[in-house]
DNA sequence: TTCAAATTAGAGTGGACACTCAAAGAGTCA
DNA sequence: TGACTCTTTGAGTGTCCACTCTAATTTGAA
């Protein structure tokens, strides 16, 4: 793949894959549907991607990376910053965030590649939340901060998940509620 | 279906369906696999169930009902009781709870029958949690209690969801952490 | 302009899927 | 026992899936 046309086609295919995974999930996304939406025939798809899974993995990786768009803040973010960034991601990138929730939160199911990436992502995320917590409450033990951070991250995921069922759901309000609860304790 | 043999076969099929949905999710559960696990041939399956979906809906309904095994407590349960009951369900009925989380929490995906049932279940559940909250904090406004209850229920779902990825995950600890946070605020 | 490489077209393949059906077998009554 | 219904058998059906292949077309560097 070196010509301009190929790169454009690749982007159209990834866009179609993104939409379809966001809408229908992993199993509901077929090559035929991707090709129709991208205006491409199967031959072109397989000229650019080795398999359906490769295209999907690319899109999911994209979504997982997008959750944390500015890793440079590492070490300075507050818990509020982290939660706000997540809410912003959910609200400003609806398609990517649906992909993230469907696959990153609910589980990849089959693909070990995705499962591994997902688990690592979760651990890193919990680590960042825990660090922010410790910065705010230095007397918290490491293990307690870690567990509280994990509770918060998973609760946020649960809230984000509900938006797939109810798109009108007020994610920001509920995220703030969680944050306030956590703050009240520490 | 009136003979004893048919009823037994029906139970074996539902058991197999339950295991497979818990393990592989909706799309990963095939008629062939159900029949093999149940020791039955496709003809027998379709003698007892009109479709694959019917068997799955039966199992999911079962799982949703099992989340709240004692509705007679209505009006007397505390928030602690409700959370404890959920944790007990997750720990004592691992298969059913995996079905519940996979379908009831993560979304039915295709079946409108399941989606409707799921949404109603969620609303009822939030209502019960909100009522318990108001009993504990009578000065809470209805709408605030409702929103806080929904936050709690969804956070619990997020935590339960993580058990599908990590079976060793300590659901009870994290559920308690959420509860303590909520209590600290009210 | 030439030409090899990249891209596209689109019919075709094999396999897995949900589901069907006719006939044989078993259960439950009188 | 006879007769009727329920249950099981297991090969078979059509559909949809991911993926392949060859030939035609387009690209862009020399």
Distance (Å, whole) CA A120 – CA A57? 15
**Cβ(B176)–Cβ(B155) below 8 Å:** no
Give the N- to C-terminal CA distance of chain B in Å, as an integer. Answer: 54
Residue-wise pLDDT for B16-27, tens only, equals 999 999 999 999
Distance (Å, whole) CA A57 – CA A69? 18
Residue-wise pLDDT for B90-139, tens only, equals 999 999 999 999 887 777 676 778 888 888 999 999 999 999 999 999 99
Radius of gyration, CA atoms only, chain A:
18
Chain A interface includes B180 (CB < 8 A):
yes
Higher pLDDT, B56 or B71: B56
Q: pLDDT below 70 — which residues of chain A?
A: 1, 185-186
What's the CA angle centered on B26, arms B24 and B30, to 5 degrees?
75
What pLDDT is attached to residue B39? 97
Shortest distance between the Cα of A143 and any Cα of chain B, in A, equals 13
Chain A residues with CB inside 8 Å of B180's CB? Answer: 185
Give the N- to C-terminal CA distance of chain A in Å, as an integer. Answer: 54
Which residue, B3, B155, B93, is CA-closest to A105?
Answer: B155
Distance (Å, whole) CA B17 – CA B34? 6
Chain B (97-126) residues lying within 8 Å, Cβ to Cβ, of chain A: 105-107, 109-110, 115, 118-119, 122
What pLDDT is attached to residue A103? 86
Shortest distance between the Cα of B13 and any Cα of chain A, in A, equals 23
Query: Residue B43 CB closer than 7 angstroms to strand C?
Result: yes
Q: b/e map of A105-131 (b: 16 or more CB within 10 Å)?
A: bbbbbebeebeebbeebbeebbebbbb
Under the banding of pLDDT at 50, 70 and 90, the label for residue B82 is very high
What pLDDT is attached to residue B115? 84
Distance (Å, whole) CA A151 – CA B136? 23
Angle formed by the axes of helices B171-185 and B142-165, nearest 10°: 160
- Beta strands, E only, chain A: none
What pLDDT is attached to residue B31? 98
Q: Calculate mean pLDDT across residues B50-73.
A: 90
Query: Residue B3 CB closer than 7 angstroms to strand C?
Result: yes
What pLDDT is attached to residue B186? 60
């Amino acid at each position: 793949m070196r010509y301009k046309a190929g790169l454009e086609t690749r982007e159209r295919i990834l866009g179609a894959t993104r939409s379809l995974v966001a809408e229908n999930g992993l199993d509901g996304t077929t090559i035929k549907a991707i090709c129709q939406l991208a205006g491409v025939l199967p031959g072109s798809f397989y000229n650019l991607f080795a398999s359906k899974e490769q295209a999907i993995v690319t899109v999911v990786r994209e979504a997982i990376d997008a959750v944390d768009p500015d890793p440079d803040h590492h070490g300075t973010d507050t818990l509020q910053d982290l939660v706000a960034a997540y809410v912003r991601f959910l609200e400003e990138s609806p398609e990517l965030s649906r992909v993230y929730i469907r696959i990153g939160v609910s589980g990849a199911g089959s693909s070990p590649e995705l499962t591994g990436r997902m688990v690592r992502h979760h651990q890193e995320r919990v680590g960042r939340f825990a660090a922010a917590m410790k910065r705010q409450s230095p007397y918290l033990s490491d293990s307690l901060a870690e567990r509280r951070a994990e509770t918060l991250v998973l609760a946020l995921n649960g809230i984000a998940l509900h938006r797939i069922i109810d798109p009108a759901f007020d994610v920001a309000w509920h995220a703030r509620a969680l944050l306030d609860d956590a703050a009240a304790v520490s």
